[in-house]
Amino acid sequence: MFDDARQELCTLRDLLRFTVSRFNEAKLFFGHGSDNAWDEAVYLLLHALHLPLDRLEPFLDARLTAQEREQALALIERRVKKRLPAAYLTREAWLGEHRFYVDERVIVPRSFIAELLDEQLSPWIDDPWAVSDVLDLCTGSGCLAILAALAFPEAAVDAIDISPDALAVAERNVANYELGERVRLVRSDLLSEVKARRYDVIISNPPYVDAAAMRALPAEYRCEPALALASGEDGLDIVRTLLREAHKHLKPDGLLVVEIGHQREVLEAAFPQLPFTWLDTHAGDQYVFLLRREELPGA
């Protein structure tokens, strides 16, 4: 079908219709930056044609050169046949207006914490300029560590991950944002290498997929590192460690902000004594919790 299309698709409009049809026909899964075939087709085609990602309409009826058509169809064909997330095809992912380099060494950046950092964790942080130390645990591509450095201009940010491959990607992103003097990359199994350092804010988008969900993951998610997704039978293995250890690494009145996916009910059942504050995001108030240091176990 892709071979037949090469001579018949003349304009971007033709190519876009063809791409949406193929995506729907293949029953692709969307969850890495878009949630439907149209949006992903638009993104991939504009990227392939080196066009502004927010300017579709002026180019819809523009005719494609043979080379442009080949490049675009090759990208679409890989998306369909390999089931690779779009971000791995384009080597980029966006959180709001911020672009990050990604490849198969890290999960595709997607975090509700990003929009909370865009608001400088207001109203929980009164003065963003007074934040001097931030930790991003399970940093992956380094995206949240970078957004934290941008949100808190005077802060030194530690970005921790157990994966040297992930840290290599994070290093590239930190360099792209010219934040090497403020964002320190640390290889560590959770908090084991933090030692006595204390932070005003600890943020984390840790692995939280439970064993049953891991077995049922769509092909697109199975392209991502399992290390960055799986967290034991109920999805809470890493969060348990974080809740147990975080008070040792927070300053008085420090904040712990953690993304937990769809595990709110499981978490609250496991820790009924903890006064979780659930933060509002565009998708609702069930995905990210906040605890103050004095609310944590052992504080």
Q: What is the pLDDT of residue 146?
A: 98
Closest C-alpha to 186, from 234, 230, 136 = 136
Q: What mean pLDDT is predicted for residues 226-241?
A: 95
Q: What mean pLDDT is predicted for residues 11-27?
A: 95
Q: What is the DSSP letter of 266?
A: H
Pairing mode of beta strands 133-137, 156-161 = parallel
For residue 284, pLDDT over 90 is answered with no
Q: What mean pLDDT is predicted for residues 238-246?
A: 96
Q: DSSP assignment of 127-191, as one string?
A: -GGG--EEEEES-TTSHHHHHHHHHSTT-EEEEEES-HHHHHHHHHHHHHTT-TTTEEEEE-STT
At residue 38, the 3 state secondary structure works out as: helix
Whether this prediction's pTM lies above 0.75 is answered by yes
pLDDT band at 195 (very low <50, low <70, confident <90, very high): confident
At residue 4, the 3 state secondary structure works out as: helix
For residue 5, pLDDT over 70 is answered with no
Determine phi and psi for 132, rounding to 5 degrees.
-110, -20
Q: What is the pLDDT of residue 33?
A: 84
Q: What is the pLDDT of residue 232?
A: 93
Bond preceding residue 123 cis, omega within 30 of 0: yes
Sheet holding 199-204, edge to edge: 183-187, 156-161, 133-137, 199-204, 250-259, 288-292, 277-278
Q: What is the pLDDT of residue 1?
A: 64
Q: How far is CA 11 from CA 8, 41, 50, 57, 61, in A?
A: 9, 14, 15, 12, 5
Q: What mean pLDDT is predicted for residues 157-178?
A: 98
Q: What mean pLDDT is predicted for residues 109-123?
A: 96
Indicate the helix (H) or strand (E) that contains 80: helix 66-82
For residue 4, pLDDT over 80 is answered with no
Q: What is the pLDDT of residue 6?
A: 67
For residue 160, pLDDT over 80 is answered with yes
Amino acid at 167: L
Is the CA virtual torsion 45, 49, 51, 57 positive or negative?
negative
Contact 160, 193 (CB under 8 A): yes
Q: What is the pLDDT of residue 205?
A: 97
- Alpha carbons 299 and 294: distance in angstroms, whole number: 5
At residue 53, the 3 state secondary structure works out as: coil
